[in-house]
Amino acid sequence: MARTRIYVPRETAAVSMGADEVALEVARLAKKNSIDVELIRNGSWGASWLEPLLEVEVDGTRIAYGNVEASDVEGLFRADLVNGGEHPRRLGPTTEIDYLISQDRWTFWRCGLVNPLSLDDFLAHNGFKALLQAFADGQESVLTAVADSGLRGRGGAGFPTGIKWRTVADAPGEQKYIACNADEGDSGTFSDRLLMEGDPLGLIESMTIAGFAVGASKGYIYLRSEYPLAHSVLTRAIDTARGAGWLGGNIQDSGFDFDIELHLGAGSYVCGEETAMLESLEGKKGIVRYKPPLPALEGLFGKPTIVNNVVSLASVPNIIKLGAERYAGMGVNRSKGTLAFQLAGNIKRGGMVEKAFGVTLRELIEEYGGGTASGRPVKAVQVGGPLGAYIPTQQLDVVMDYEAFMEIGAMIGHGGIVVFDDTANMAELARFAMEFCAIESCGKCTPCRIGSTRGAEVIDKLIAGEKRDENYDLLVDLCDTMEGASLCAMGGMTPYPVRSVLKYFAEDFASSAEG
Amino acid sequence: MATIDKQTTSEIVAEHNARPELLVQILQTIIGRFGWLPEETIRQLADELNLSRADVHGVVQYYHDFRTEEPGRHIIKICQAEACQAMGSNALTEYAKKTLAMSFHDTENDITLEPVYCLGNCACAPAVMVDGKTIGRVDEQRFNALLENLRGAD
């Protein structure tokens, strides 16, 4: 009998739900029953709610089984798993799972599909083709494609990537750097992690393209320490790429040199801010820098530096291969292309949904997410991490578009969508926003450092029902100061969630006092 | 956890080519292997990297990961961020503190309990990290099972 391929993801969410134990059990039982199995630890397709998602390849088609536990494996084999047999866990062919096939997979198309640590598998799936095309077409062509695609920074700020790359390319200086921001600290976000764990070689290719386009010979990945599995995957992928001549000197005889150093963060949220990240990469405290100078002109070690989020970078290879027009053809208004939306918190079908901009928040939460996990009504949705506004249900029809979100005082940020049901106490969440800012503030500017502590105190008084009108005005005033006078988004945007609670959920302050 | 000795510190510095700009990476390597940073190590690093002791101290104090007290053999981190709060992490935290009779940052019976702000497992909340491994959908029952496992492993 031919060898059977079985896929069990080696990705944090899957592993957190028991994928390693499932993989061990598959290996053990295959051996015991003399079934010839090739066990592949792929990345995740992103349907976290189905993890561990086991797949078996039958005549070239992958058949999926969802929420598999180690104790299910024996029964699966008995149900003729190797031929895709019937079983309560069976979902059918992976390519027919609605949640996945209705997405617009541009950046994440290899995630789940390939073995992340196999160079052969990567090459068999268009790996490094965009890089070779970039070498053939030249720097100018890459810079033009990225600009024409309309790609904007996916880390949260939404700055046009093409302008950033052009600035670095035009900046004088021999030494330039690519700094990949993989300090994905926003609650409700995990798309960077999915990509690094599922397609690390794709990120390496993307960074190399960026280096080639702007004339940088060295790249850094700044990875948060809360992602140990991503660290292990990236470390091996970088070694693999280097060993095969895809990193290092004279890459594939192109005459272009590029190498990547992987750095770990150390638990500081503010190091996701680009200048704090650069400080940390230089081995210092992650304290925010004044801007200007822009990192594009004076960045890492004072040299011109591209600071890009993982997903921004990883969107580039297909822009080169498939064309900027195709990317720009997706999306709405000035929000072009796709974003990896992440459904999190109290949601039935949590996971990553890569969709063109223009989808509504309601479609994501109801059609993809299936509503709350608890089955209770949605009360609020925080989009864009801890600095994002709490959106009330009457605004769920907002279109996913950077500018449309700004109009309602919210932000898309890195695309994290955290759903709360009607048991959530919004006053406590407003307090948490201030408390989190107090814990994570780098301390350089006063509005953020002191304002956050004072903010938590004032909210405590409001919750206690103390001098309500006076403290309300004080809190609004404090939000104005933090927003207007903080050095970076940490202090400058902490008022967003606070204000949204004051505006849409003020009754929670009253009920807290009564309760 | 063990305590790093002088020679190992020097070896780790050498592995990083004594580059002072790799201070965060050197400290993270030590934390990864030993879990904490004794005062003598901080002094030694300052000497060997040609940095002032104040510089090294500043960096150590700045980052949450850089413990200066010896942790327990097992480290349990409970996510406190919004996505986990939406799935009951506050109640789970209270339960854990009560069950272990500990507060955050305490070490008792070879267990250290810490808060963490997002493990990136937000679709399988609430999340807990035990000895570097992230566990999803942790309720009281699953938390008890984790503790049983830790105790069984000792």
What is the domain-level CATH number for residue B107?
3.40.30.10
Q: What is the mean pLDDT of residues A117-144?
A: 98
Q: Looking at chain A, which residue has its C-alpha nearest residue B118?
A: A187
- Say if pTM beats, i.e. exceeds, 0.95: yes
- Same domain, residue pair B79 and B105: yes
Chain segment A218-229, per-residue pLDDT in tens: 999 999 999 999
Q: Looking at chain A, which residue has its C-alpha nearest residue B31?
A: A266
Is residue B125 in some structural domain?
A: yes
Nearest to A344 among B31, B62, B122 (CB): B122
Q: What is the mean pLDDT of residues A354-378?
A: 98
For position A512, what pLDDT does the model report? 56
Residues of chain A neighbouring B138 (CB-CB closer than 8 A) = none
How many separate domains does chain B show? 2
Q: What is the mean pLDDT of residues A238-250?
A: 98
Is residue B17 in some structural domain?
A: yes
Residues within 8 A of B (CB atoms), A 453-512 only: none
Distance CA A366, CA A348 (A): 9
Task: Read off the pLDDT band of A130 (50, 70, 90).
Answer: very high
Distance CA A446, CA A452 (A): 9
> Do A283 and B24 make contact, defined as CB atoms within 8 angstroms?
yes
> Do A12 and B119 make contact, defined as CB atoms within 8 angstroms?
yes
For position B130, what pLDDT does the model report? 98
Residue B16 sits at the chain A interface (C-beta within 8 Å)? no
Nearest to B123 among A48, A285, A440 (CB): A48
Its sign, for the CA torsion A164, A165, A167, A173, is: positive
- Same domain, residue pair B147 and B78: yes
Top CATH class, A4-101:
alpha beta
Residues within 8 A of B (CB atoms), A 328-347 only: 342-347
User: Shortest Cα distance from B29 to chain A (angstroms)?
Assistant: 9
Q: Which positions ≥6 away from A229 have C-beta within 8 Å?
A: A10, A11, A12, A15, A197, B134
The per-residue pLDDT of chain A, averaged, comes to 97
The answer to whether residues A237 and A116 touch, using CB atoms and an 8 Å cutoff, is yes
For position B152, what pLDDT does the model report? 83
Of B24, B31, B128, which to mutate for an interface test with A (greatest number of A Cβ within 10 Å)? B24
Q: Which helix (H) or strand (E) holds B130?
A: strand B128-130
Q: Looking at chain B, which residue has its C-alpha nearest residue A439?
A: B64
User: Shortest Cα distance from B19 to chain A (angstroms)?
Assistant: 9
Q: What is the mean pLDDT of residues A30-36?
A: 96
- Same domain, residue pair B28 and B87: no
Q: Which positions ≥6 away from B56 have C-beta within 8 Å?
A: B23, B42, B45, B46, B49
Chain segment A161-179, per-residue pLDDT in tens: 999 999 999 999 999 999 9
- Same domain, residue pair B148 and B87: yes
The structure tokens 């935290």 sit at B93
For position A1, what pLDDT does the model report? 58
Nearest to B125 among A229, A345, A421 (CB): A345
The answer to whether residues B58 and B94 touch, using CB atoms and an 8 Å cutoff, is no
Nearest to A345 among B21, B31, B122 (CB): B122
> Do A386 and B25 make contact, defined as CB atoms within 8 angstroms?
no
Of A10, A17, A99, A187, which to mutate for an interface test with B (greatest number of B Cβ within 10 Å)? A187
Task: Read off the pLDDT band of A511 (50, 70, 90).
Answer: low
For position A515, what pLDDT does the model report? 42
Of A287, A418, A431, which to mutate for an interface test with B (greatest number of B Cβ within 10 Å)? A418
Residue A353 sits at the chain B interface (C-beta within 8 Å)? no
DSSP A114-180: S-TT-HHHHHHTTTTHHHHHHHHH-HHHHHHHHHHHT-B-TTTT--BHHHHHHHHHHS--S--EEEE
- Same domain, residue pair B79 and B148: yes
For position A509, what pLDDT does the model report? 87
Residues of chain A neighbouring B135 (CB-CB closer than 8 A) = 16
A–B: how many Cβ contacts below 8 A? 154
- Same domain, residue pair B85 and B21: no
Residues of chain A neighbouring B48 (CB-CB closer than 8 A) = none
Nearest to B86 among A287, A342, A418 (CB): A418
Q: What is the mean pLDDT of residues A59-63?
A: 97
Ranges of CATH 3.40.30.10 domains, chain A: 4-101
pLDDT beyond 90 at A268: yes
User: Shortest Cα distance from B20 to chain A (angstroms)?
Assistant: 7
Residue A386 sits at the chain B interface (C-beta within 8 Å)? yes
For position A2, what pLDDT does the model report? 80
Nearest to A12 among B117, B120, B125 (CB): B120
Domain spanning A119-327, CATH architecture: 3-Layer(aba) Sandwich (3.40)
Nearest to B83 among A17, A188, A286 (CB): A188
For position B2, what pLDDT does the model report? 81
For position B56, what pLDDT does the model report? 98
- Same domain, residue pair B88 and B138: yes
User: For the domain with range A334-418, which CATH number is right: 3.50.50.60, 3.10.20.600, 3.40.50.880, 3.40.50.300?
Assistant: 3.10.20.600
The range of the structural domain enclosing residue B143 comes to: 74-153
Q: Which positions ≥6 away from A55 have C-beta within 8 Å?
A: A6, A7, A42, A62, A63, A64, A65, A94
Residue B15 sits at the chain A interface (C-beta within 8 Å)? no
For position A401, what pLDDT does the model report? 98
The structure tokens 């503010």 sit at A270
- Same domain, residue pair B48 and B104: no
Is residue B67 in some structural domain?
A: no
Q: pLDDT tens, position by position, for chain B (154 residues)?
A: 689 999 999 999 999 999 999 999 999 999 999 999 999 999 999 999 999 999 999 999 999 999 999 999 999 999 999 999 999 999 999 999 999 999 999 999 999 999 999 999 999 999 999 999 999 999 999 999 999 999 887 6
User: Shortest Cα distance from B7 to chain A (angstroms)?
Assistant: 22
Residue B17 sits at the chain A interface (C-beta within 8 Å)? no
DSSP A37-71: EEEE-----S-GGG-S-EEEEETTEEEEE-S--GG
- Say which CATH topology domain A426-514 has: de novo design (two linked rop proteins) (1.20.1440)
Residues within 8 A of A (CB atoms), B 64-123 only: 64-66, 81-87, 116-123
> Do B82 and A283 make contact, defined as CB atoms within 8 angstroms?
no
